[in-house]
Amino acid sequence: MNVAGLRLSVTLLTVIPWRPRPGEELAAPSRADAAAAMAWAPAVGLLLGVVAAAVLLGADHPLGAGPLTAAGLATGVLALLTRGLHLDGLADLADGLASAQPAPAALDIMRKSDIGPLGTVTLIMTLLLQVAALSHAEAAGSGRGPAALIAATVTSRLALTWACRRGVPAARPDGLGALVAGSVRPAVPAAVTAVTLAAAAAAVVISATAGGSLGWTLPLAVAAGLGAALAVRRHAVRRLGGITGDVLGALAEIAVTVTLVVASMGPAA
């Protein structure tokens, strides 16, 4: 197991500190470490989803805050656990793509620390959709809220694995995009996608067998989240010439949002 890659994945995608052991040198990440980090990304997403799902359940049921407040708290916890970097990337990509400027100028816009009007609206709408969809899923009962949330966080990080597969270029010669772009063998995201879809389908079957109802939309939600991220990634590569750290952050948030929205659909339990 590439421990350096796992450490890089955890420290890149979360606020969780993972310092080297005493006497262990922390070297600059290699391409192999970058590939391993992106391969581990769905597992990190699973960890984030479990933590956020615990907050959702705890706030809704023992504390009685209600589905809407619980969904807001869970969404806020996810933002805190990721330093808000994915949300920042989403706003930056929205501003860059909406500028209608050539790739170099659009990338310069994305580098700036401020957020334009479209980036602001994109952030607000994205968070509203996430909270609304998660609240609806939680209110439906039968564990739909936690299941939707975990599926969304795994899918969003799996979208990063797909975005870093071989053949996808970096938009800049430096930065996070240059480190991870094209580093992952296509077989890796393909295998993880198959496992994720199978797990989602199995969860629905097990729930139905036990008398619950997660809803048939859960596997569809995973596929929809990945499909939306793929469409945006292709557009970003076409407009910018490749991926950047901002593009990756945006893909994660888009996948989370679409997965939650689709997973919340269907009749009440």
**184: which strand partners?**
165
pLDDT value, residue 141:
83
Residue entry with tokens 């950047």: 244
Counting every residue written for the chain, the total comes to: 269
Per run of 10 residues, the mean pLDDT along the chain (length 269 residues) is 82 86 64 91 97 96 92 97 94 92 92 89 97 95 92 98 95 90 95 97 87 82 98 96 96 98 79
Q: Which of 231, 72, 219, 234 is nearest to 154 (CA)?
A: 219
- Domain segments of the chain: what residues? 3-18+31-263
Which residues are registered as beta bridge partners of 170? 243
Residue with tokens 């799996």: 158
pLDDT of residue 135: 97
Q: Which residues pair with 243 in a beta bridge?
A: 170
Question: What b/e sequence results for 36-50 when a residue is b if at least 16 CB atoms lie within 10 Å of its CB, and e otherwise?
Answer: bbbbbbbbbbbbbbe
Can you read off the two tokens belonging to residue 141? Answer: 């009962």
pTM: 0.94
Predicted local confidence at residue 143, as pLDDT: 87
pLDDT at position 53, please?
Answer: 97
Q: What is the pLDDT of residue 17?
A: 86
**pLDDT digits over 77-87, tens only?**
999 999 999 99
Instruction: Report the pLDDT value the prediction gives residue 95, as an integer from 0 to 100.
Output: 94
Per DSSP, the chain holds a count of helices (H) and strands (E) of 11, 0
Query: If 0-12 CB within 10 Å is exposed, 13-18 middle and 19+ buried, where does residue 197 land?
Result: middle
Residue 168's nearest CA partner among 103, 225, 242 is 242
Residue of 84, 60, 63 lying closest to 74 (CA atoms): 60
Alpha carbon distance 73, 70 (integer Å): 5
What amino acid occupies position 215?
G
Give the pLDDT confidence score for residue 213 in this predicted structure.
Answer: 74
